[in-house]
Structure 1
Amino acid sequence: MTRLQSALWLPIFDELADPALVARLAAEAEAAGWHGVFVWDHLRWRAPVREVADPWITLAAVATATERLRFGPMVTPLPRRRPAKVAKETATLDRLSNGRLTLGVGLGSDRFAGELHATCEELDDRRRGQMLDESLEILTAAWSGEPVQHHGEHYTVDGISFLPRPIQRPGVPVWIAGFPGNVKPVRRAARHDGFVPVNLDHPDQLAEIVTTIAGLRQGQTAPYDIAATGAPGTDPVPYVQAGATWWLVEFAPETVSLDQVRGVLRDGPVAR
Protein backbone atom coordinates (compact mmCIF):
# COMPACT_ATOMS: atom_id res chain seq x y z
CA MET A 1 0.00 0.00 0.00
CA THR A 2 1.23 3.50 -0.81
CA ARG A 3 2.63 5.40 2.16
CA LEU A 4 -0.03 7.79 3.39
CA GLN A 5 0.63 11.25 4.77
CA SER A 6 -1.70 12.23 7.61
CA ALA A 7 -2.77 15.71 8.67
CA LEU A 8 -5.11 17.52 11.03
CA TRP A 9 -7.58 19.83 9.27
CA LEU A 10 -8.63 22.47 11.78
CA PRO A 11 -11.47 25.01 11.69
CA ILE A 12 -9.79 27.83 13.63
CA PHE A 13 -13.00 28.84 15.35
CA ASP A 14 -13.94 29.75 18.92
CA GLU A 15 -11.66 27.73 21.23
CA LEU A 16 -9.20 27.24 18.34
CA ALA A 17 -9.29 30.91 17.29
CA ASP A 18 -5.98 31.47 19.09
CA PRO A 19 -2.82 31.39 16.91
CA ALA A 20 -0.57 30.54 19.84
CA LEU A 21 -2.78 27.58 20.79
CA VAL A 22 -2.88 26.25 17.23
CA ALA A 23 0.91 26.63 17.02
CA ARG A 24 1.27 24.51 20.18
CA LEU A 25 -1.08 21.90 18.71
CA ALA A 26 1.00 21.83 15.54
CA ALA A 27 4.20 21.30 17.55
CA GLU A 28 2.50 18.46 19.45
CA ALA A 29 1.28 16.95 16.16
CA GLU A 30 4.79 17.05 14.73
CA ALA A 31 6.18 15.33 17.82
CA ALA A 32 3.46 12.66 17.53
CA GLY A 33 4.42 11.87 13.93
CA TRP A 34 1.76 13.74 11.99
CA HIS A 35 2.84 15.03 8.59
CA GLY A 36 0.70 18.15 8.30
CA VAL A 37 -1.67 20.66 9.86
CA PHE A 38 -4.05 22.62 7.64
CA VAL A 39 -6.48 25.36 8.66
CA TRP A 40 -9.76 26.75 7.36
CA ASP A 41 -9.93 30.21 5.79
CA HIS A 42 -13.14 32.11 6.60
CA LEU A 43 -14.21 35.54 7.78
CA ARG A 44 -17.13 34.15 9.75
CA TRP A 45 -19.20 31.01 10.22
CA ARG A 46 -22.81 30.28 11.03
CA ALA A 47 -24.06 30.06 14.63
CA PRO A 48 -23.10 28.92 17.17
CA VAL A 49 -19.57 29.84 15.98
CA ARG A 50 -18.66 33.38 17.05
CA GLU A 51 -14.87 33.73 16.90
CA VAL A 52 -12.83 33.14 13.71
CA ALA A 53 -9.04 33.53 13.49
CA ASP A 54 -7.05 34.81 10.54
CA PRO A 55 -5.41 31.83 8.78
CA TRP A 56 -2.27 33.61 7.58
CA ILE A 57 -1.26 34.90 11.01
CA THR A 58 -2.07 31.48 12.46
CA LEU A 59 0.05 29.75 9.82
CA ALA A 60 2.99 32.06 10.55
CA ALA A 61 2.77 30.94 14.17
CA VAL A 62 2.65 27.29 13.04
CA ALA A 63 5.69 27.82 10.81
CA THR A 64 7.81 29.13 13.67
CA ALA A 65 6.66 26.43 16.11
CA THR A 66 7.50 23.45 13.86
CA GLU A 67 10.39 22.16 11.76
CA ARG A 68 9.11 19.35 9.50
CA LEU A 69 5.33 19.66 9.39
CA ARG A 70 3.64 20.64 6.10
CA PHE A 71 0.93 23.24 6.54
CA GLY A 72 -1.27 25.70 4.71
CA PRO A 73 -4.74 27.14 4.23
CA MET A 74 -7.23 24.48 3.20
CA VAL A 75 -8.71 26.16 1.40
CA THR A 76 -8.35 29.85 0.74
CA PRO A 77 -11.11 31.35 -1.46
CA LEU A 78 -8.65 33.00 -3.83
CA PRO A 79 -11.22 35.12 -5.74
CA ARG A 80 -11.81 37.22 -2.62
CA ARG A 81 -8.09 37.87 -2.11
CA ARG A 82 -5.78 40.15 -4.08
CA PRO A 83 -3.36 37.85 -5.95
CA ALA A 84 -0.42 40.26 -5.65
CA LYS A 85 -0.80 40.22 -1.87
CA VAL A 86 -1.15 36.44 -1.80
CA ALA A 87 2.04 36.19 -3.89
CA LYS A 88 3.95 38.08 -1.20
CA GLU A 89 2.30 36.24 1.68
CA THR A 90 2.96 32.78 0.25
CA ALA A 91 6.59 33.47 -0.70
CA THR A 92 7.32 34.96 2.72
CA LEU A 93 5.58 32.12 4.57
CA ASP A 94 7.39 29.51 2.49
CA ARG A 95 10.73 31.09 3.36
CA LEU A 96 9.78 31.40 7.02
CA SER A 97 9.07 27.66 7.10
CA ASN A 98 12.06 26.61 4.96
CA GLY A 99 9.80 25.37 2.16
CA ARG A 100 6.86 23.65 3.93
CA LEU A 101 3.84 25.57 2.66
CA THR A 102 1.05 24.02 0.58
CA LEU A 103 -1.53 26.43 -0.85
CA GLY A 104 -5.06 25.07 -0.99
CA VAL A 105 -7.37 27.18 -3.15
CA GLY A 106 -10.97 27.18 -4.32
CA LEU A 107 -13.82 29.35 -5.51
CA GLY A 108 -15.23 29.95 -2.05
CA SER A 109 -18.94 29.73 -1.36
CA ASP A 110 -21.68 31.88 0.13
CA ARG A 111 -23.75 28.91 1.23
CA PHE A 112 -22.25 28.29 4.67
CA ALA A 113 -21.83 31.74 6.20
CA GLY A 114 -22.95 34.32 3.65
CA GLU A 115 -19.54 35.95 3.88
CA LEU A 116 -19.24 36.74 0.16
CA HIS A 117 -22.59 38.53 0.18
CA ALA A 118 -21.78 40.33 3.44
CA THR A 119 -18.57 41.80 2.01
CA CYS A 120 -19.87 42.54 -1.52
CA GLU A 121 -17.67 39.92 -3.17
CA GLU A 122 -18.44 38.33 -6.54
CA LEU A 123 -21.32 35.86 -6.19
CA ASP A 124 -21.35 34.39 -9.70
CA ASP A 125 -19.54 31.03 -9.73
CA ARG A 126 -18.43 31.40 -13.35
CA ARG A 127 -16.82 34.78 -12.74
CA ARG A 128 -15.16 33.58 -9.53
CA GLY A 129 -13.77 30.68 -11.55
CA GLN A 130 -12.26 33.17 -14.00
CA MET A 131 -10.82 35.16 -11.10
CA LEU A 132 -9.36 31.99 -9.61
CA ASP A 133 -7.63 31.03 -12.86
CA GLU A 134 -6.24 34.54 -13.33
CA SER A 135 -4.98 34.60 -9.76
CA LEU A 136 -3.22 31.26 -10.24
CA GLU A 137 -1.55 32.59 -13.39
CA ILE A 138 -0.28 35.59 -11.43
CA LEU A 139 0.98 33.44 -8.55
CA THR A 140 2.84 31.09 -10.89
CA ALA A 141 4.49 34.03 -12.62
CA ALA A 142 5.27 35.79 -9.34
CA TRP A 143 6.97 32.73 -7.82
CA SER A 144 9.35 32.62 -10.82
CA GLY A 145 11.05 35.80 -9.62
CA GLU A 146 10.73 37.39 -13.05
CA PRO A 147 8.77 40.62 -13.65
CA VAL A 148 5.05 39.84 -13.90
CA GLN A 149 3.12 41.31 -16.81
CA HIS A 150 -0.52 40.42 -16.44
CA HIS A 151 -3.37 42.39 -17.97
CA GLY A 152 -6.52 40.35 -17.51
CA GLU A 153 -10.22 40.93 -17.17
CA HIS A 154 -10.08 40.99 -13.38
CA TYR A 155 -6.49 41.82 -12.38
CA THR A 156 -3.52 43.84 -13.57
CA VAL A 157 0.10 43.40 -12.48
CA ASP A 158 2.40 45.63 -14.49
CA GLY A 159 6.07 44.75 -14.33
CA ILE A 160 6.41 43.85 -10.63
CA SER A 161 9.04 41.34 -9.52
CA PHE A 162 8.01 39.41 -6.40
CA LEU A 163 11.29 38.83 -4.62
CA PRO A 164 12.48 36.98 -2.68
CA ARG A 165 11.12 33.83 -4.30
CA PRO A 166 9.68 30.90 -2.34
CA ILE A 167 12.20 28.26 -1.34
CA GLN A 168 10.17 25.54 -3.11
CA ARG A 169 10.77 25.41 -6.83
CA PRO A 170 9.24 26.18 -9.22
CA GLY A 171 6.85 27.50 -6.56
CA VAL A 172 4.54 26.65 -3.68
CA PRO A 173 2.53 23.45 -4.36
CA VAL A 174 -1.10 24.28 -5.18
CA TRP A 175 -3.98 21.97 -4.30
CA ILE A 176 -7.36 22.72 -5.87
CA ALA A 177 -10.56 22.00 -3.95
CA GLY A 178 -13.85 21.02 -5.52
CA PHE A 179 -17.05 19.08 -5.00
CA PRO A 180 -17.40 15.60 -6.56
CA GLY A 181 -19.25 15.70 -9.87
CA ASN A 182 -18.00 19.19 -10.72
CA VAL A 183 -15.75 18.82 -13.76
CA LYS A 184 -14.12 22.25 -13.84
CA PRO A 185 -12.23 21.96 -10.53
CA VAL A 186 -10.88 18.56 -11.59
CA ARG A 187 -9.59 19.98 -14.86
CA ARG A 188 -8.12 22.94 -13.00
CA ALA A 189 -6.50 20.64 -10.47
CA ALA A 190 -4.86 18.58 -13.21
CA ARG A 191 -2.85 21.67 -14.17
CA HIS A 192 -1.47 22.05 -10.65
CA ASP A 193 -0.10 19.86 -7.85
CA GLY A 194 -3.02 18.26 -6.07
CA PHE A 195 -6.77 17.93 -5.60
CA VAL A 196 -8.93 18.07 -2.47
CA PRO A 197 -12.41 16.61 -3.13
CA VAL A 198 -14.79 18.18 -0.62
CA ASN A 199 -17.73 16.25 0.86
CA LEU A 200 -16.92 12.84 -0.56
CA ASP A 201 -19.64 10.30 0.11
CA HIS A 202 -17.80 7.15 -0.95
CA PRO A 203 -14.27 6.00 -1.95
CA ASP A 204 -15.59 5.09 -5.43
CA GLN A 205 -16.07 8.81 -6.08
CA LEU A 206 -12.41 9.35 -5.29
CA ALA A 207 -11.32 6.50 -7.57
CA GLU A 208 -13.24 8.08 -10.44
CA ILE A 209 -11.59 11.46 -9.80
CA VAL A 210 -8.12 9.89 -9.64
CA THR A 211 -8.69 8.15 -12.98
CA THR A 212 -9.87 11.38 -14.60
CA ILE A 213 -6.89 13.38 -13.32
CA ALA A 214 -4.46 10.67 -14.39
CA GLY A 215 -5.88 10.86 -17.90
CA LEU A 216 -5.60 14.64 -17.98
CA ARG A 217 -2.01 14.48 -16.71
CA GLN A 218 -0.91 11.73 -19.07
CA GLY A 219 2.80 12.02 -19.79
CA GLN A 220 3.56 14.21 -16.77
CA THR A 221 6.01 12.81 -14.23
CA ALA A 222 5.84 15.41 -11.44
CA PRO A 223 4.56 14.15 -8.06
CA TYR A 224 0.84 14.66 -7.55
CA ASP A 225 -1.26 14.61 -4.38
CA ILE A 226 -4.85 13.57 -3.75
CA ALA A 227 -6.09 14.59 -0.29
CA ALA A 228 -9.09 12.69 1.07
CA THR A 229 -10.89 13.83 4.21
CA GLY A 230 -12.85 12.12 6.94
CA ALA A 231 -14.12 12.57 10.46
CA PRO A 232 -12.17 11.08 13.39
CA GLY A 233 -12.53 7.31 13.39
CA THR A 234 -13.14 7.01 9.64
CA ASP A 235 -11.15 4.18 8.05
CA PRO A 236 -8.82 5.77 5.46
CA VAL A 237 -7.73 2.50 3.86
CA PRO A 238 -10.47 2.42 1.15
CA TYR A 239 -9.51 5.97 0.19
CA VAL A 240 -5.83 5.06 -0.01
CA GLN A 241 -6.76 2.12 -2.23
CA ALA A 242 -8.72 4.59 -4.39
CA GLY A 243 -5.61 6.76 -4.82
CA ALA A 244 -5.37 9.15 -1.85
CA THR A 245 -1.85 10.25 -0.89
CA TRP A 246 -2.98 12.40 2.06
CA TRP A 247 -5.58 11.75 4.74
CA LEU A 248 -6.96 14.90 6.40
CA VAL A 249 -8.85 14.33 9.64
CA GLU A 250 -11.64 16.91 9.66
CA PHE A 251 -13.56 18.32 12.61
CA ALA A 252 -17.14 19.61 12.69
CA PRO A 253 -16.82 23.41 12.89
CA GLU A 254 -19.77 23.91 15.23
CA THR A 255 -18.53 21.43 17.83
CA VAL A 256 -14.73 21.25 17.50
CA SER A 257 -12.92 21.54 20.82
CA LEU A 258 -9.37 21.53 22.06
CA ASP A 259 -9.96 18.25 23.92
CA GLN A 260 -11.30 16.57 20.78
CA VAL A 261 -8.34 17.68 18.66
CA ARG A 262 -5.84 16.65 21.32
CA GLY A 263 -7.48 13.23 21.59
CA VAL A 264 -7.14 12.62 17.86
CA LEU A 265 -3.62 14.05 17.85
CA ARG A 266 -2.43 11.75 20.62
CA ASP A 267 -3.90 8.68 18.89
CA GLY A 268 -1.30 9.38 16.20
CA PRO A 269 -1.45 9.42 12.41
CA VAL A 270 -2.30 6.69 9.98
CA ALA A 271 1.04 5.94 8.35
CA ARG A 272 0.35 3.03 5.99
Structure 2
Amino acid sequence: MDYGREVEFGVFPEPSAEKLPEALSMAQIADREGLELVGIQDHPYQRRHLDTWALMGAVLAGTQRVRVFPDVANLPLRAPAVMAKTAASLDLLSGGRFELGLGAGSFWEAVAAMGGSRRSPGEAYGALREAVEVLRLMWSDERSVRYEGKHYRLAGVKPGPRPAHPIPVWLGVGGPRTLALCGRVADGWLPSSPWAPPEKLPELNARIDEAAAGAGREPGAVRRLYNVFGIITDGPSEGFLRGPAEQWVAELTELALVHGMDGFVFGPADDPVRQTHRFAAEVVPAVRRAVAQERIRRTTR
Protein backbone atom coordinates (compact mmCIF):
# COMPACT_ATOMS: atom_id res chain seq x y z
CA MET A 1 0.00 0.00 0.00
CA ASP A 2 1.42 3.34 -1.09
CA TYR A 3 -0.46 6.29 0.38
CA GLY A 4 1.30 8.67 -2.00
CA ARG A 5 2.70 11.04 0.58
CA GLU A 6 6.04 12.76 0.14
CA VAL A 7 8.79 10.70 1.78
CA GLU A 8 10.78 12.42 4.54
CA PHE A 9 13.96 11.47 6.36
CA GLY A 10 15.52 12.16 9.73
CA VAL A 11 17.95 11.05 12.42
CA PHE A 12 17.59 9.66 15.94
CA PRO A 13 20.46 10.99 18.11
CA GLU A 14 20.98 9.54 21.58
CA PRO A 15 20.27 12.18 24.27
CA SER A 16 23.25 11.11 26.38
CA ALA A 17 24.94 13.85 28.40
CA GLU A 18 28.32 12.30 27.59
CA LYS A 19 27.54 12.30 23.87
CA LEU A 20 26.03 15.77 23.55
CA PRO A 21 28.48 16.95 20.85
CA GLU A 22 27.62 13.86 18.82
CA ALA A 23 23.87 14.48 19.10
CA LEU A 24 24.22 18.13 18.11
CA SER A 25 26.47 17.19 15.18
CA MET A 26 23.91 14.70 13.88
CA ALA A 27 21.18 17.35 14.05
CA GLN A 28 23.36 19.89 12.25
CA ILE A 29 24.24 17.39 9.52
CA ALA A 30 20.55 16.67 9.04
CA ASP A 31 19.87 20.40 8.83
CA ARG A 32 22.65 21.10 6.29
CA GLU A 33 22.32 18.01 4.15
CA GLY A 34 18.64 18.02 3.31
CA LEU A 35 16.94 15.84 5.92
CA GLU A 36 13.67 16.98 7.44
CA LEU A 37 13.45 15.50 10.94
CA VAL A 38 15.29 14.99 14.21
CA GLY A 39 13.60 12.61 16.66
CA ILE A 40 14.82 12.30 20.26
CA GLN A 41 13.78 9.56 22.69
CA ASP A 42 12.23 10.61 26.01
CA HIS A 43 13.23 8.47 29.00
CA PRO A 44 13.63 10.86 31.96
CA TYR A 45 14.54 8.02 34.34
CA GLN A 46 17.70 7.21 32.34
CA ARG A 47 20.45 8.70 34.49
CA ARG A 48 22.79 9.24 31.53
CA HIS A 49 20.18 11.08 29.47
CA LEU A 50 19.66 14.81 29.29
CA ASP A 51 16.11 16.07 29.58
CA THR A 52 14.70 15.53 26.10
CA TRP A 53 12.65 18.72 26.03
CA ALA A 54 15.62 20.88 27.02
CA LEU A 55 17.74 19.15 24.38
CA MET A 56 15.09 19.71 21.71
CA GLY A 57 15.23 23.43 22.49
CA ALA A 58 19.00 23.39 22.00
CA VAL A 59 18.68 21.48 18.73
CA LEU A 60 16.07 23.91 17.41
CA ALA A 61 18.26 26.87 18.40
CA GLY A 62 21.25 25.36 16.60
CA THR A 63 19.47 24.55 13.33
CA GLN A 64 17.50 26.45 10.72
CA ARG A 65 15.22 24.11 8.81
CA VAL A 66 14.84 20.63 10.35
CA ARG A 67 11.74 19.83 12.37
CA VAL A 68 12.27 18.33 15.83
CA PHE A 69 10.06 16.01 17.88
CA PRO A 70 10.13 13.73 20.92
CA ASP A 71 10.30 10.15 19.71
CA VAL A 72 8.15 9.62 21.76
CA ALA A 73 7.10 11.86 24.67
CA ASN A 74 6.77 9.97 27.95
CA LEU A 75 3.14 10.62 28.85
CA PRO A 76 3.16 9.10 32.38
CA LEU A 77 5.84 11.62 33.38
CA ARG A 78 4.59 14.60 31.34
CA ALA A 79 1.22 16.21 32.10
CA PRO A 80 -0.43 16.86 28.71
CA ALA A 81 -1.59 20.41 29.48
CA VAL A 82 1.96 21.46 30.42
CA MET A 83 3.34 19.46 27.49
CA ALA A 84 1.04 21.43 25.18
CA LYS A 85 2.37 24.70 26.57
CA THR A 86 5.99 23.64 26.10
CA ALA A 87 5.29 22.32 22.60
CA ALA A 88 3.60 25.58 21.56
CA SER A 89 6.48 27.57 23.02
CA LEU A 90 9.12 25.56 21.15
CA ASP A 91 7.08 25.85 17.97
CA LEU A 92 6.85 29.63 18.27
CA LEU A 93 10.52 30.02 19.20
CA SER A 94 11.58 27.93 16.18
CA GLY A 95 9.21 29.41 13.61
CA GLY A 96 6.99 26.32 13.34
CA ARG A 97 9.55 23.50 13.49
CA PHE A 98 8.26 21.45 16.40
CA GLU A 99 6.17 18.27 16.02
CA LEU A 100 4.87 15.91 18.71
CA GLY A 101 5.44 12.18 18.97
CA LEU A 102 3.50 10.72 21.90
CA GLY A 103 3.54 7.33 23.62
CA ALA A 104 1.33 5.69 26.23
CA GLY A 105 4.31 4.71 28.38
CA SER A 106 6.48 1.70 29.18
CA PHE A 107 9.18 0.69 31.68
CA TRP A 108 6.63 1.08 34.46
CA GLU A 109 9.04 0.25 37.29
CA ALA A 110 11.25 3.16 36.22
CA VAL A 111 8.25 5.46 35.75
CA ALA A 112 6.95 4.63 39.23
CA ALA A 113 10.42 5.11 40.73
CA MET A 114 10.37 8.68 39.41
CA GLY A 115 6.93 9.41 40.84
CA GLY A 116 4.82 8.66 37.79
CA SER A 117 1.72 6.50 37.61
CA ARG A 118 2.08 2.77 37.08
CA ARG A 119 -0.71 2.09 34.58
CA SER A 120 -2.39 -1.07 33.41
CA PRO A 121 -2.78 -1.51 29.63
CA GLY A 122 -6.35 -0.23 29.88
CA GLU A 123 -5.32 2.77 31.94
CA ALA A 124 -2.44 3.58 29.58
CA TYR A 125 -4.82 3.49 26.61
CA GLY A 126 -7.36 5.71 28.38
CA ALA A 127 -4.73 8.23 29.43
CA LEU A 128 -3.34 8.40 25.89
CA ARG A 129 -6.81 9.00 24.41
CA GLU A 130 -7.52 11.74 26.93
CA ALA A 131 -4.09 13.32 26.42
CA VAL A 132 -4.69 13.82 22.69
CA GLU A 133 -7.94 15.61 23.50
CA VAL A 134 -6.28 17.78 26.17
CA LEU A 135 -3.42 18.75 23.86
CA ARG A 136 -5.76 19.94 21.16
CA LEU A 137 -7.89 21.88 23.61
CA MET A 138 -4.78 23.62 24.89
CA TRP A 139 -3.82 24.61 21.32
CA SER A 140 -7.31 25.92 20.52
CA ASP A 141 -8.65 29.47 20.12
CA GLU A 142 -11.05 29.04 23.04
CA ARG A 143 -10.95 31.69 25.80
CA SER A 144 -11.03 28.93 28.42
CA VAL A 145 -11.44 25.17 28.29
CA ARG A 146 -12.78 22.49 30.58
CA TYR A 147 -12.21 18.76 30.43
CA GLU A 148 -13.30 16.05 32.81
CA GLY A 149 -11.55 12.76 32.19
CA LYS A 150 -10.56 9.81 34.32
CA HIS A 151 -6.87 10.70 34.11
CA TYR A 152 -6.77 14.41 33.27
CA ARG A 153 -8.85 17.43 34.15
CA LEU A 154 -8.99 21.03 32.93
CA ALA A 155 -11.02 23.44 35.05
CA GLY A 156 -11.41 26.62 33.04
CA VAL A 157 -7.76 26.94 31.99
CA LYS A 158 -6.97 29.61 29.39
CA PRO A 159 -5.16 28.13 26.36
CA GLY A 160 -2.28 29.91 24.70
CA PRO A 161 -0.15 31.00 23.16
CA ARG A 162 -1.12 29.21 19.99
CA PRO A 163 1.62 27.27 18.15
CA ALA A 164 3.12 28.78 15.01
CA HIS A 165 1.61 25.94 12.95
CA PRO A 166 -0.91 23.14 13.61
CA ILE A 167 1.28 20.71 15.55
CA PRO A 168 0.61 17.13 14.43
CA VAL A 169 0.28 14.37 17.01
CA TRP A 170 2.06 11.17 16.00
CA LEU A 171 1.44 8.12 18.19
CA GLY A 172 4.16 5.57 18.90
CA VAL A 173 1.83 2.63 19.51
CA GLY A 174 1.54 -1.04 18.59
CA GLY A 175 -1.45 -2.65 20.35
CA PRO A 176 -4.86 -3.22 18.74
CA ARG A 177 -6.69 -0.56 20.76
CA THR A 178 -3.98 2.07 20.43
CA LEU A 179 -3.59 1.43 16.69
CA ALA A 180 -7.34 1.93 16.30
CA LEU A 181 -7.05 5.15 18.32
CA CYS A 182 -4.27 6.25 15.97
CA GLY A 183 -6.50 5.67 12.96
CA ARG A 184 -9.40 7.57 14.51
CA VAL A 185 -7.70 10.66 15.93
CA ALA A 186 -3.95 10.90 15.28
CA ASP A 187 -2.03 12.69 12.54
CA GLY A 188 0.61 10.00 12.29
CA TRP A 189 1.91 6.61 13.40
CA LEU A 190 5.47 6.26 14.71
CA PRO A 191 6.60 2.62 15.03
CA SER A 192 10.17 1.33 15.34
CA SER A 193 11.72 -1.42 13.23
CA PRO A 194 12.80 -3.67 16.17
CA TRP A 195 9.22 -4.20 17.41
CA ALA A 196 7.42 -3.57 14.12
CA PRO A 197 9.55 -5.33 11.47
CA PRO A 198 8.43 -5.20 7.82
CA GLU A 199 6.56 -8.50 7.96
CA LYS A 200 4.27 -7.09 10.68
CA LEU A 201 3.54 -3.77 8.97
CA PRO A 202 0.64 -4.95 6.76
CA GLU A 203 -1.37 -6.14 9.77
CA LEU A 204 -0.58 -3.06 11.84
CA ASN A 205 -1.32 -0.65 8.98
CA ALA A 206 -4.59 -2.47 8.30
CA ARG A 207 -5.78 -1.82 11.87
CA ILE A 208 -5.06 1.89 11.46
CA ASP A 209 -6.74 2.02 8.04
CA GLU A 210 -9.86 0.21 9.24
CA ALA A 211 -10.25 2.56 12.20
CA ALA A 212 -9.62 5.63 10.04
CA ALA A 213 -12.26 4.55 7.52
CA GLY A 214 -14.69 3.82 10.33
CA ALA A 215 -14.19 7.37 11.62
CA GLY A 216 -14.81 8.84 8.18
CA ARG A 217 -11.15 9.60 7.53
CA GLU A 218 -8.95 8.75 4.58
CA PRO A 219 -6.29 6.24 5.70
CA GLY A 220 -3.71 8.35 3.87
CA ALA A 221 -4.39 11.20 6.29
CA VAL A 222 -2.31 9.28 8.86
CA ARG A 223 1.43 9.68 8.26
CA ARG A 224 3.55 6.54 8.71
CA LEU A 225 6.97 7.45 10.18
CA TYR A 226 9.36 4.56 10.79
CA ASN A 227 12.27 4.57 13.23
CA VAL A 228 14.89 2.42 11.48
CA PHE A 229 17.96 1.07 13.24
CA GLY A 230 20.97 -0.43 11.49
CA ILE A 231 24.27 0.37 9.84
CA ILE A 232 25.45 1.27 6.36
CA THR A 233 28.49 -0.86 5.49
CA ASP A 234 30.90 -1.38 2.62
CA GLY A 235 30.56 -5.15 2.71
CA PRO A 236 27.87 -7.73 1.99
CA SER A 237 24.44 -7.76 3.60
CA GLU A 238 24.24 -8.92 7.20
CA GLY A 239 20.45 -8.74 7.37
CA PHE A 240 17.69 -6.13 7.28
CA LEU A 241 19.16 -2.60 7.27
CA ARG A 242 22.66 -3.94 7.84
CA GLY A 243 24.54 -3.69 4.57
CA PRO A 244 25.73 -1.41 1.76
CA ALA A 245 23.95 1.77 0.71
CA GLU A 246 22.39 -0.01 -2.27
CA GLN A 247 20.65 -2.43 0.09
CA TRP A 248 19.35 0.45 2.20
CA VAL A 249 17.97 2.17 -0.90
CA ALA A 250 16.18 -1.00 -2.03
CA GLU A 251 14.73 -1.77 1.41
CA LEU A 252 13.54 1.78 2.20
CA THR A 253 12.06 2.16 -1.29
CA GLU A 254 10.09 -1.05 -0.80
CA LEU A 255 8.93 0.12 2.63
CA ALA A 256 7.60 3.30 1.04
CA LEU A 257 5.98 1.79 -2.05
CA VAL A 258 4.70 -1.51 -0.63
CA HIS A 259 4.16 -0.81 3.08
CA GLY A 260 3.20 2.87 2.94
CA MET A 261 5.93 4.15 5.25
CA ASP A 262 6.49 7.80 4.32
CA GLY A 263 9.09 8.87 6.89
CA PHE A 264 12.34 7.22 7.96
CA VAL A 265 14.18 8.27 11.14
CA PHE A 266 17.65 6.67 11.20
CA GLY A 267 19.25 5.45 14.42
CA PRO A 268 22.82 4.36 13.56
CA ALA A 269 24.09 1.25 15.32
CA ASP A 270 27.66 2.61 15.37
CA ASP A 271 29.74 5.67 14.41
CA PRO A 272 26.64 7.95 14.39
CA VAL A 273 28.16 11.10 12.90
CA ARG A 274 29.77 9.35 9.94
CA GLN A 275 26.70 7.17 9.46
CA THR A 276 24.48 10.27 9.36
CA HIS A 277 26.67 11.73 6.61
CA ARG A 278 26.42 8.49 4.64
CA PHE A 279 22.67 8.25 5.11
CA ALA A 280 22.18 11.82 3.87
CA ALA A 281 24.55 11.49 0.92
CA GLU A 282 24.24 7.88 -0.26
CA VAL A 283 20.78 6.69 0.76
CA VAL A 284 18.29 9.54 0.99
CA PRO A 285 18.65 11.07 -2.51
CA ALA A 286 18.51 7.64 -4.15
CA VAL A 287 15.36 6.65 -2.24
CA ARG A 288 13.68 9.94 -3.18
CA ARG A 289 14.48 9.31 -6.86
CA ALA A 290 13.38 5.68 -6.81
CA VAL A 291 10.06 6.45 -5.12
CA ALA A 292 9.32 9.39 -7.44
CA GLN A 293 10.20 7.38 -10.57
CA GLU A 294 8.03 4.42 -9.57
CA ARG A 295 5.09 6.66 -8.79
CA ILE A 296 5.40 8.33 -12.19
CA ARG A 297 5.66 4.93 -13.85
CA ARG A 298 2.50 3.75 -12.10
CA THR A 299 0.51 6.79 -13.23
CA THR A 300 1.62 6.58 -16.88
CA ARG A 301 1.35 2.89 -17.60
The amino acid of 2:60's aligned partner reads: A
Partner of 2:178: 185
- Aligned equivalents of 1:109, 1:40: Cα separation in 2: 13
TM normalised by structure 2 equals: 0.77
Change (3 A) 1:139 1:243: same
The code of the aligned residue for 2:226 comes to A
Instruction: Report the Cα offset of residue 227 of structure 1.
Output: 1.2
RMSD in angstroms over aligned alpha carbons?
Answer: 2.2
The farther-off stretch of 115-124 and 94-103 is 115-124
Which of 69, 72, 76 is equivalent to 2:73? 76
User: Structure 2 CA distance, aligned partners of 1:173 and 1:13?
Assistant: 26
Question: Segments of 4+ in structure 1 off by > 6 A?
Answer: none
Q: Which residue of 2 aligns with 1:158?
A: 155
AA aligned to 2:160 is L
Tell me the CA shift for residue 164 of structure 1: 1.2
Contact 1:75 1:177 (C-alpha < 8 Å) held by counterparts: yes
- Cα deviation digits, residues 221-260 of structure 1 (max 9, x gap): 57431012222331323321211000111245xxx6xxx1
Q: Note if 1:242 corresponds to 2:259.
A: yes
Select the structure that is richer in helix. 2
Asked if the contact 1:177/1:197 (under 8 Å) is kept, the reply is yes
Equivalent position SS for 1:38? strand
How far did 1:72 drift?
A: 0.6
2:75 and 2:203 map into 1 onto residues whose CA distance is 26
Partner of 2:117: 122
Equivalences for 1:1-272 in 2 at 5 Å? 3-16=6-19, 18=20, 22-45=23-46, 50-110=47-107, 114-123=109-118, 124-146=120-142, 147-169=144-166, 172-179=167-174, 182-190=175-183, 191-198=185-192, 199-200=194-195, 202-218=197-213, 219-221=216-218, 223-231=221-229, 232-233=231-232, 234=241, 235=248, 236-240=252-256, 241-251=258-268, 260-269=271-280, 270-271=284-285, 272=288
**Residue 21 of structure 1: CA displacement?**
5.6
Q: Larger deviation: 215-224 or 80-89?
A: 215-224
Which one has the largest radius of gyration? 2
Deviations 1:135-175 (A, max 9, x none): 21111111113121012222221111221101113xx1111
Q: Deviations over 1:155-212 (max 9, x none)?
A: 221111221101113xx11111123xx2012112111111112334532311232233
* C-alpha distance in 1 between matches for 2:253 and 2:82: 39
Contact conserved, 2:39 with 2:70, CA < 8 A, in 1?
A: yes
Give the letter for the 1:214 counterpart.
Answer: D
2:299 counterpart residue number: none
What is the one-letter code of the residue matched to 1:263? Answer: R
Determine if contact 1:145/1:161 at 8 Å carries over to the other structure: no
What is the distance in 1 between the residues matched to 2:67 and 2:202? 25
User: Which range moves more in the overlay, 220-229 or 141-150?
Assistant: 220-229
Q: CA deviation at 1:15?
A: 2.9
SS in 1 for 2:160: coil
Return the offset for 1:68. 1.5
Structure 1: give runs of 5+ residues left out of the alignment: none
Partner of 2:292: none
